[in-house]
Chains A and B, each alone.
Chain A
Amino acid sequence: MAAGKTYVRFDWLIIFMYIALVSMGWINIYSASLSDVAKGFFDFDQIYGKQMIWIGLSVIIIIFVLAIESKFYERFASFIYIISLISLVGLFVLGKTIAGSTSWYDFGGVSIQPSEFVKATTALALAKYVSDIQTNMKDLKNQIGALIIITLPAVLIILQPDPGSALIYAAFVFPLYREGLHGVYLLLGLFAVMLFVSTLAFGAVWVAVGVVLLTGILFYRNRRKRPSIIKYVLIAIGCIAFAFSVSYIFNNVFKQHHRDRFNIVLGKEVDARGIGYNTNQSEIAISNGGWLGKGWTQGTQTKGNFVPEQHTDYIFSTVGEEWGFLGSMVVVLLFVALITRIIFRAEKQKNQFGRVYGYSVAAILFLHFFVNIGMVTGIFPTVGIPLPFFSYGGSALWGFTILLFIFVKLDGANYHYA
């Protein structure tokens, strides 16, 4: 080994932001889980005490991840991916069921959620596949190959069932688009989401009426160009069929609590004591904060445990109540800065593997950030996914730590070549 090869410069900016987010997360978990029986900061029976252990173990994980030779990740990506898929399949035999989802392995009291780690392994596998010299994202065969890599874990997770976590796999469309996937897929996806939301909001029949009117108007406006009438009719029928199948799935395949979660955000349910309770309480807590917040451990809604799951998925409502608009902005800006920094560094990668992986990390973090804070502030449906680095939970923290620090390692190796 030459001296130059061992010289690795890590991106300290990313590491500092990681440390900042994890520390703030712990401070807020402390407040959200504080109880009368707590015996100081180091009471490991308490949730905040356990989180401190998870954070400590993260440091060991970081050292491991950074110590491994960066080539290892590229070389063993497929192997790691397959192992992780097996761990998902194994859940159906050995898994522990918590709150209706069989997503956990129980190791003598410590529960591990493999799906939190599969994000990183899928990102590795996808990066490996896309960066292969023979792969071209404009090629339909390769598009299907990439789709299978992404969909396999997603389907296994939906079957647990944990649709919220599966939703995150949509993030992989961004690295694929970056690597040459046609933009029409992004637009198609966006259009499908719009159709989906309007179908739930107004019903399939009205969406069908709207689609017919819209295509009619478009056809009339373009009549000089002698458009093919069959094309218009086919597109319209496709849209209407999509709307009705969404309606069918929503009403017959979705479970009631999934439907409720969508209905709240679409304003169809206003029962503050019933299903809208989480979102409502979370909004009240955030509103309570004002400019500067109530102060650490002083939030009334936080103290009274009004927001369910406040230390996990709803941790941001504690930030809102106790640190106010200012504190919330610090957290939002940190996330925006971290994700932006990752994209920036991903673009700097000399090899495609590093770039695809970096983009995957940025996209996954972005989707978590967007869905979680959107949910807590009441502008997105209630989808139970954690806020990266912030929410309580060992698996989630370790999963995100591994995801991020593999990139830090790849990026660091890159500095060497620069």
Chain B
Amino acid sequence: MRKIVLITLVLISGVVFTARLFYLQVYDASSGSLAQNSAIKVMYDYPQRGYMFDRNNKLLVSNQPSYDVMVIPKDVKPLDTLEFCGLLKISKEEFKEILRKARVYSPRLPSVVLPQLNKADYASLSEKMYKYEGFYIQRRSLREYQVDHSANVMGYIAEVNNAIIENNPYYQMGELIGTAGVEKEYEDVLRGVKGVKYIQKDRFNRDIGPYKEGIFDTLPERGNDIQLTIDATLQKYGQELMIHKRGGIVAIEPATGEILALITAPSYDPSLLVGRDRSKNFTKLWYDTIGKPLYDRVLMGEYPPGSPFKALTALVGLHEHAIGVDDVIGCSGGFHFGRRVLKCHHRGPVAMVSGIAKSCNTYFCTVYKRIMDTYPTPQEGIDAWRKDLMSFGLGDFLGYDLPSGKRGNIPTSAYYNKIHKFPEHKWSSLATISNAIGQGEVLLTPMQMANFTAAIANRGYYYTPHIIKNIIGPDTIPQKFKEKNYTTVEPEYFEPVVEGMFQVYERGTAASIKVPGIEVCGKTGTAENFTKIDGKRVQLTDHSIFIAFAPKDNPKIAIAVFVENGYWGSRWAGRIAGLMIEKYLKGEITRTDMEKYVLQGSLEAEYAKQYSGQPFSINR
């Protein structure tokens, strides 16, 4: 016993120290990472964000330097708060709140005190920064827009929020990330990779040189430039045409699926969302709940398509063998079903070509009913019809490379079973007859309308619309944008429909807005729409809709135009479509009368009606 007590204690302490060292060095090694190390300061070097060009290599957006005042709370020493706040041009209370939040986020990691100083502010501040320990100025790169349009396409960048930081360890407080449009979709391409420098500090927080001679340091990699499919000239022109109107224009090159123009109105100047006034301007745009400039109507707006949808009814009718091209249907001013009538502005017998040209409601209701009646039950009819329509990219997300969108709506049999309480109550094909003419439950986004127009122009297929033309550097455009999506409708059935759309201009509903020298195929649309005022359903002036492609053979452009409450199709949308096509194909406008009408026309009075609080009349 006397011989072993000391030796036992020696061995025990050896075991205890082994366990303690194992715990500190191996088991609980969480404190070992470089970023958490109090002896290492991490400095970032931000690369230039990639530029954007249009399809003709016109520069859309580049960069400008910007300066953020940053703070590392644990390094802050007592300072002359009043003087510092004066320099930053913020109040003492704001300053204290910013510091408090920064400390909550992390005492050791940098937070933003004041973002996006311009060069002048930076110059006056930088010479006094040495006085304020714990604060420093971080250089970043901000967007500099070369154009005042296409804000909805390019999107914007914004400071990362906590959710992004938690999900993606690349980002740190105060860094910028694409939050809308192409900036968001191609964030990884445009962003580049920030450089990191690890700096060894001593216990007085002084830099004593690069950590391990900089072997862990990385250089920043510049973001890749990208070329968009949009045509800046067309985009600018379209935006001008849409002034004082609400709605949008989508133009697609049918042979490739490239989006030539994507215009929503009203829009805003992208430069508003850059610099120190960013948040003020953003708030203003955000709270404009009537004009909704941040709302991309062409991607997010789901509208009844109206008469352009008749072209699809015709195609599905031919595919389902419900009607022949030459089958003539008489029209007596409306489609009668039961005791009701779906009115038509036209009288006389029509076949397919003339039916499209004249936009005869009776003809298309008949075709629609025959499609349904090809199947034993209206349920099967609806689902077959739906399947054909979905092959045109309707009723679901199209898969384009922009981060916003809607499915639209192509109703299913299940939907009608539910609203008609099937099987207690039966419903017939006539219950859904409004679908024939693009009213009823059918909803499309303007983007989907432009896409099916492109499918018609291609006589049976479309390329998934896309905004990316080229990533300069690693030229990798997703394969899905290079593959044809075939519709269920056979190519030969497209010719009569194309001919009908051609006749729309020759002797149909758009004869008055013909574009000389170009063979345009189009289809007008006028869609009823309603709103709620004080809980009551009130009808508003019809939407003016137009789809077109040109030239008839080997089409170069397919376009959909949507003007909210613009009344009949050729009044606004048709004219705008014609001008856009001429501008794109010829580069100049021959129908200056039409241009002047559109440029000077305003629908503001129409839009004001529903907010006036007074009774108003529509469709005038």
Which residues of A approach B to under 8 Å, CB–CB?
174, 177-178, 180, 183, 186, 281, 283-284, 286-291, 298, 300-301, 303-306, 320, 324-325, 328-329, 332-333, 335-336, 339-340, 343, 347, 359, 362-363, 366, 369-370, 373-374, 377-379
B290 at interface, CB cutoff 8 A: no
**A325/B26 in contact, CB under 8 A:** yes
Contact pick for B21, options A177, A286, A288, A303, CB 8 Å: A286
- Given A178-B2, A329-B18, A332-B18: A366 touches B13 (CB 8 Å cut-off): yes
Contacts of B24 in A (CB 8 A): 283, 286-287, 320, 377
Q: Which residue of B lies closest to A293 (CB)?
A: B25
B357-379 CB contacts (< 8 Å) to partner A: none
Contacts of A304 in B (CB 8 A): 39, 200-203, 208
B288 at interface, CB cutoff 8 A: no
**A369/B6 in contact, CB under 8 A:** no
**B5/A177 in contact, CB under 8 A:** yes
Q: Which residue of A lies closest to B6 (CB)?
A: A174
CA distance A277 to B620 in the complex (A): 82
**B26/A291 in contact, CB under 8 A:** yes
Shortest Cβ distance from A56 into chain B, in angstroms? 30
Contacts of A324 in B (CB 8 A): 25
Segment at the A interface, from B29-37, B344-352, B397-405: B29-37
Contacts of B14 in A (CB 8 A): 332-333, 335-336
Shortest Cβ distance from A336 into chain B, in angstroms? 4
- Given A287-B31, A370-B13: A329 touches B6 (CB 8 Å cut-off): no
Instruction: Give the contact-size bracket for chain B.
Output: 35 or more
**A332/B10 in contact, CB under 8 A:** no
Contact pick for A362, options B6, B26, B201, CB 8 Å: B6
Contacts of B17 in A (CB 8 A): 332, 373-374, 377
CA distance A320 to B24 in the complex (A): 10
Contact pick for A366, options B6, B26, B39, CB 8 Å: B6
CA distance A283 to B31 in the complex (A): 10
Q: Which residue of B lies closest to A299 (CB)?
A: B39
B38 at interface, CB cutoff 8 A: yes
Shortest Cβ distance from B234 into chain A, in angstroms? 58
Contact pick for B6, options A178, A284, A298, A303, CB 8 Å: A178
CA distance A186 to B6 in the complex (A): 11
- Given A303-B208, A304-B203: A320 touches B21 (CB 8 Å cut-off): yes
Contacts of A340 in B (CB 8 A): 7, 10-11
Residue from B6, B9, B39, B40 having most chain A Cβ neighbours under 10 A: B6
- Given A286-B24, A287-B28: A178 touches B3 (CB 8 Å cut-off): yes
B10-59 CB contacts (< 8 Å) to partner A: 10-11, 13-14, 16-18, 20-22, 24-26, 28-29, 31-32, 37-40
Residue from B16, B21, B37 having most chain A Cβ neighbours under 10 A: B21
B596 at interface, CB cutoff 8 A: no
Q: Which residue of B lies closest to A277 (CB)?
A: B203
Question: Chain A binding site: helix, strand, loop or mixed by DSSP?
Answer: helix
Shortest Cβ distance from A264 into chain B, in angstroms? 16
CA distance A306 to B200 in the complex (A): 11
Shortest Cβ distance from A359 into chain B, in angstroms? 7
**B13/A328 in contact, CB under 8 A:** no
- Given A304-B39, A304-B208, A379-B20: A290 touches B202 (CB 8 Å cut-off): no
Kindly list the 10 A-B residue pairs having the minimum CB-CB distance in the complex, ordered from nearest.
A300-B39, A336-B14, A304-B39, A325-B25, A304-B202, A306-B203, A174-B6, A377-B20, A287-B24, A328-B21
Q: Which residue of B lies closest to A178 (CB)?
A: B2
Shortest Cβ distance from A333 into chain B, in angstroms? 7
Contacts of B25 in A (CB 8 A): 286-287, 289-291, 320, 324-325, 328
A-B contact pairs, 22 of them (CB 8 A): A186-B5, A283-B24, A284-B38, A287-B32, A291-B26, A300-B211, A303-B39, A303-B200, A304-B200, A325-B25, A328-B25, A332-B14, A336-B11, A336-B13, A339-B10, A340-B11, A343-B7, A343-B10, A359-B6, A369-B13, A370-B13, A374-B13
Shortest Cβ distance from B133 into chain A, in angstroms? 16
B212 at interface, CB cutoff 8 A: yes
**B10/A366 in contact, CB under 8 A:** yes
Shortest Cβ distance from B36 into chain A, in angstroms? 10
Contact pick for B203, options A180, A305, A366, CB 8 Å: A305
CA distance A286 to B37 in the complex (A): 12
Contacts of A183 in B (CB 8 A): 1
Contacts of B200 in A (CB 8 A): 300, 303-304
B199-226 CB contacts (< 8 Å) to partner A: 200-203, 208, 211-212
Contacts of A328 in B (CB 8 A): 21, 25
Contact pick for A377, options B1, B11, B21, B26, CB 8 Å: B21
**B3/A287 in contact, CB under 8 A:** no
Contacts of B18 in A (CB 8 A): 329, 332
Contacts of A186 in B (CB 8 A): 5
- Given A284-B38, A300-B37, A320-B21: A290 touches B10 (CB 8 Å cut-off): no
Contact pick for A379, options B2, B5, B16, B211, CB 8 Å: B16
Contact pick for A325, options B22, B31, B208, CB 8 Å: B22
**A336/B10 in contact, CB under 8 A:** yes
Q: Which residue of A lies closest to B26 (CB)?
A: A325
Shortest Cβ distance from B1 into chain A, in angstroms? 8
Contacts of A284 in B (CB 8 A): 31, 38
CA distance A186 to B3 in the complex (A): 14
**A343/B6 in contact, CB under 8 A:** yes
Q: Which residue of B lies closest to A186 (CB)?
A: B5
CA distance A370 to B17 in the complex (A): 9
CA distance A332 to B19 in the complex (A): 11
**Sample of 20 further A-B pairs with CB below 8 A, known A186-B5, A362-B10:** A177-B2, A177-B5, A284-B31, A286-B25, A289-B25, A290-B26, A290-B32, A300-B40, A303-B208, A306-B38, A325-B25, A333-B14, A335-B14, A336-B10, A339-B10, A343-B6, A366-B10, A369-B13, A377-B21, A378-B20
